[in-house]
A and B are shown apart, each in its own frame.
Chain A
Amino acid sequence: MNAKNVNINPCHMCMPMGGVLAFKGIEKSVVVIHGSQGCSTYIRRHIAEHFNEPVDVGSTSLNEKGTVYGGEDNLKKGLENIIRVYNPKMIGVLTTCLAETIGEDIKRMTETFIKDTGLSHVQIIPVHTAGYSGSHSEGFFSSVRRILENTVIPSEPNGKIGLIIPNISPADIRELKRMMKLFSLPYVVLPDFSDSLDGVYQKQYLKLSPHGTKIKDIQTMSGLKAIIEFSATLQDDLSPGEYMKKEYGVPLYRIPLPVGLRFSDQLISVLREISGKKAPKMLLEERGRLLDAMIDAHKHNAQGKTLLYLEPEQLYATISLLEENGVGIVLAATGSEYSTIAKKEIRQKDRLFTGADFDLIFKEAEGQDIDFAIGNSDGRVLTEKRGIPLLRRGFPIHDRMGGGRILSVGYAGSIQLLDSITNMILDKKLTSYRQQMTEKLLEPLKNGAESRGESYGDKI
């Protein structure tokens, strides 16, 4: 925990940010943020810049009057208008610091709205996402949980496997789906923003993305054969899978994100167990290729030292990959204060920091020899001030292209991540090698010759 009061250069964002990301993965859904319109504008702006995609979020535009007399009227109007213009299938109503501080009862308000209007074709999901109750990571999972709580109905077994994901990239989601297909296992990914936040160019622009998890598929998640939730560091009461287990008895496997060899193996083991099938040949080949890459890279990686700051799930999984290949971890940090990552088995527990900000990262990195850092774009100051190169991972990446296309999961993704890491180390080594060798070997030779009264230049 961070002992001081001030947060200087934060490593985390607020809950509604995570909520919007989660709803982006539901077909024909839209979010209305109940609060000042700044919240929706800022969140749209940041998500749009990371993914280079349109991100449309409504606001109830609460002003002073709404703040004093309550915002129900604004919420009602907001819902009416967004339904008229966008015709969504699902609306996420997310609260803000403002709405929570004045104590808006959005559950009752949205229920009243549905009752009064008699609307049946649109589902409204109220989610409490006060900016002070957690980071965007918590906002993400609590929104997914609320989507389930409000949508799932009892249903017959459907033999499908549910994958509940944290805030990973569209490329990661596509990779998980590919693995499921290779296993020939029917699946439901929740939420699935692999298309809506990494869309193909199309002449006809659609206001609401038709892509994402189908609402029908969410409703019938009670009939899933099992749920695999990548939430090893999530507290139970935020876990969507725990809700499904408790409420509908759906078998739940909570495992880390499949980054690195061991965690990818863990996913494959779970899939084998659930399906009774053997791992497909192609995945085994990919495992072999990852192993081969690890053997090739270990001599470089064992010399590397890094610091990393990511959302809890990504952090835990990336630490595992680094440990597997012998990369030194100078410090590992996350902005979230609520994750259970500190209880996990991590080799250098004393170098793990939760509730961190960049001020802490800078201080802890002081005087340390660090080859590179891993984390989002906000760590660019590490490069500017300390000359530590940054391998951009996580969210948000706003000063480079392709944040949504970065792949790190599965054997295939792990190879890409591993290569990127090794190349960061090699890049530093190769650009400074000549100078180091000169200093270490050539200079002493020269000095020795001179001290003997010889001219070193004459000898060579």
Chain B
Amino acid sequence: MAISKEKLDKMLEVYPSKVKKSRKSHIMIKDGCETQTIEANTRTVPGIITNRGCAFAGCKGVVLGPLKDMIHIVHGPVGCAFYTWGTRRNKAKTEDPAKNFLNYCVTTDMQESDIVFGGEKKLMNVIDDVMEEFNPAAITLTATCPIGLIGDDMGAVAKSAEEKYGVSVLHFNCEGYKGVSQSAGHHIANNVLVDKIIGQGEKEQADSKYAINLLGEYNIGGDGWEIERILNDIGYEVVSVMTGDGSYEDLKNAHVAELNLVQCHRSINYIAEMLETKYGIPWLKVNFIGIDATIETLRNMAMYFGEQDLIDQTEKIIAKELSEIEGKLEQYKKITQNKTSFCFVGGSRGHHYQGLFAELGIETVLAGYEFAHRDDYEGREVIPDIKIDADSKNIPDLKVEPDPDRFRLRIPEKLYEELKAKIPLSEYKGMNADMADGTVIVDDLNHYETEEFIKIFKPDIFASGIKDKYVVQKMGIPAKQLHSYDYSGPYAGFKGALNFAADVSMSFATPTWNFIAPPWKGEPLLDGKIEKGAE
């Protein structure tokens, strides 16, 4: 099934003309013969039921939330804290279980009087309570909508708390109304992590020569742990993970790594760029979702370090991992092949999972991101062309300089350029390049369009979030929730691919779909026949 421009036009006719024009610029039918652009990271149309969240969600919910050894104080009324409490399934373990604070939801729970008279005093009192009860090494303060408006100076409170307790207290002005989606919050969080945590550690060099940071991996369902297992087997030292199962203590020394791996480009590329400028650590776009993507990533990493023993060990581990899943994927493929999918997730998974779907014989016919920017679709080369609008200008851009003591070129410039031609160093080509002609790419897909596109394409599976999952299932189509994996995972790496195949197969093969039509379907409604002469 495909869609023509005319059909798309008709579908959007329900909108008022201005909205139609706007939404049209966020939707493209892939045509490899044309240079196509897509609108992204612009304001959401009010009243169109979007899946997007807010800056607070991106900052506290996504980036900071997984940092396990910090207490995250949400400064505001209760809702925002409650709604980001343990909802992302980001797993974490600490050596001392008492220093794992992920199960806690801490808030100033502001009341009307706090809004009227200001909440700084309450915030300070809450920090006192937190120090007494948890004594954490570091604290984050995140702002919800009213904070900026009532003029609470979180920075001043953070400063006096730092003086009082001698611990790090970081504040994030991530009020929900900033920017156009959670993407603004990622950026705000990234800035503070680089400015206030990374580099605060004493370490001057890593423990081993293959030292990496894993960026943009949030350990949903244990993905990060599965990736780390493979990396450790090859001989890499994972200095820090940002931020799944991440810790303040590890982050402080992230500056010693030799290479940064970027899994989720959207949420964390700012840190990757800043660390390259400040410390000279190059970054490599990686993808651990899908078998081929994982293999390619591991080989690219080995090529970056360039040492034969690492290259050999990489091949050895790839062969070992493959042998352990050999043949097992085939049984699932019998069920999954020749099917089609929609793949609409947040800011990177919409792209990453297409390869894994393809390995299962599932063709992605529609894909998109909730809160991505144009570079996530069209590749980083469009970054200079992206217009900075008023909404993006509000997010401070942290300018970093090379660190006078710690900046060190990790590899010679000439080698860097040579490598750049072969592997995605400081490079991301975006989703569009990998999509076939005739497929549809949609930015900020909404509730109405979801339903309409499903009617047109009739996909066999829909990969999306919790909110839209039930709409899809009500339409009789299996939904695979890819934000927090529906109580499953890990899906990363080789074994993760197998888990994913099992979960997807189970959705296709559940006997339940056979019972939709009752056994009496097609039988006459009334038993018996009309007697002659009864009329």
Contacts and interface: CB of A to CB of B under 8 A. Distances in A.
A77 B47 contact: yes
Contacts of A37: 44, 50, 52-54, 176, 181
Given A58-B48, A131-B77, A132-B110, 17 more contacts: A6-B106, A7-B109, A10-B82, A36-B175, A38-B53, A42-B53, A54-B467, A61-B50, A63-B180, A64-B177, A64-B390, A80-B16, A80-B47, A82-B48, A85-B47, A97-B115, A101-B146
A12 B112 CA distance: 16
Contacts of B475: 203, 205
B3 interface: no
B467 A41 contact: yes
Given A7-B106, A12-B78, A202-B474, A61 B46 contact: yes
Contacts of B81: 7, 10
Contact of A101 (B49, B115, B129, B182): B115
A347 interface: no
A102 B146 CA distance: 8
Contact of A77 (B45, B87, B125, B447): B45
29 contacts: A5-B126, A6-B106, A6-B129, A8-B105, A9-B105, A10-B78, A10-B107, A36-B54, A36-B55, A36-B177, A37-B52, A37-B54, A44-B467, A48-B466, A49-B466, A57-B49, A58-B49, A77-B45, A77-B47, A81-B16, A81-B19, A82-B47, A84-B15, A97-B77, A101-B115, A130-B115, A205-B474, A357-B109, A381-B103
A281 interface: no
Interface stretch (A13-21, A187-195, A215-223, A229-237): A13-21
Given A77-B47, A78-B47, A96-B145, A64 B176 contact: no
A369 to B, nearest CB: 24
B263 interface: no
Contacts of B476: 203
Contacts of B474: 54, 199, 201-202, 205
Contact of B129 (A5, A10, A44, A64): A5
Interface in B76-106: 76-85, 87, 103-106
Contacts of B416: none
A97 B45 contact: no
Contacts of B125: 5-6
A97 to B, nearest CB: 5
Nearest to A396: B82
Chain B CB count within 10 A is highest, among A16, A97, A133, for A97
B149 interface: yes
Nearest to B123: A5
A207 B51 CA distance: 15
Contact of A207 (B112, B178, B448, B470): B448
B212 interface: no
Interface string B47-69: 11111111111000000000000
Nearest to B130: A6
A351 interface: no
A87 to B, nearest CB: 10
A9 B101 CA distance: 11
A6 B105 CA distance: 10
Contacts of B106: 6-9
Chain A CB count within 10 A is highest, among B43, B107, B145, for B145
Contact of A45 (B54, B105, B130, B466): B466
B129 A4 contact: yes
B79 A85 contact: no
Interface string A43-69: 111101100111111111111111100
Interface string A246-278: 000000000000000000000000000000000
B114 interface: yes
Nearest to A9: B105
A10 B50 contact: no
A9 B85 CA distance: 8
B6 interface: no
Nearest to B106: A8
A201 B475 CA distance: 9
B454 to A, nearest CB: 9
Nearest to A96: B145
B133 interface: yes
Interface of A: 4-10, 12-14, 16-17, 32, 35-39, 41-46, 48-49, 52-67, 74-75, 77-82, 84-86, 96-98, 100-102, 130-133, 135, 199, 201-203, 205, 207, 335, 357, 359, 378, 381, 384
Contacts of B51: 41
A43 B80 CA distance: 10
Contact of A14 (B56, B82, B182): B82
A81 B20 CA distance: 11
Contacts of B84: 42
Nearest 4 interchain pairs by C-beta: A38-B54, A14-B79, A78-B47, A36-B176
Contact of A84 (B14, B129, B390, B394): B14
B471 to A, nearest CB: 4
B451 interface: yes
Contacts of A64: 177-179, 390-391, 394
A201 B43 CA distance: 35
Nearest to A57: B49
Contacts of A56: 49, 447, 471
A89 B497 CA distance: 46
Contacts of B451: 205, 207
A36 B178 CA distance: 9
A97 B108 contact: no
B140 interface: no
B48 A10 contact: no
Given A65-B390, A101-B150, A14 B47 contact: no
A287 to B, nearest CB: 36
B469 interface: yes
B516 interface: yes
Contact of A6 (B54, B80, B108, B177): B108
Contact of A135 (B76, B78, B122, B468): B78
A14 B146 CA distance: 14
A57 B46 CA distance: 11
A70 to B, nearest CB: 12
Contacts of A77: 45-47
A8 B54 contact: no
Interface in B128-185: 128-130, 133, 144-146, 149-150, 175-182
Nearest to A139: B79
Contacts of B130: 6
A130 B54 contact: no
B25 interface: no
Interface string B403-424: 0000000000000000000000
A55 B176 CA distance: 21
Contacts of B114: 132
Contacts of B109: 6-7, 10, 357
A205 B479 CA distance: 15
Contacts of B110: 132
Contacts of B16: 80-81, 84
B470 A81 contact: no
Nearest to A136: B79
B36 interface: no
Interface in B451-470: 451, 465-470
Contacts of A57: 49
B458 to A, nearest CB: 13
Nearest to B43: A63
B111 interface: yes
A438 B270 CA distance: 63
A57 to B, nearest CB: 7
Contacts of A48: 466-467, 469-470
A93 to B, nearest CB: 11
A17 B78 CA distance: 11
B388 to A, nearest CB: 14
A54 B475 CA distance: 11
A201 B104 CA distance: 37
B108 A7 contact: yes
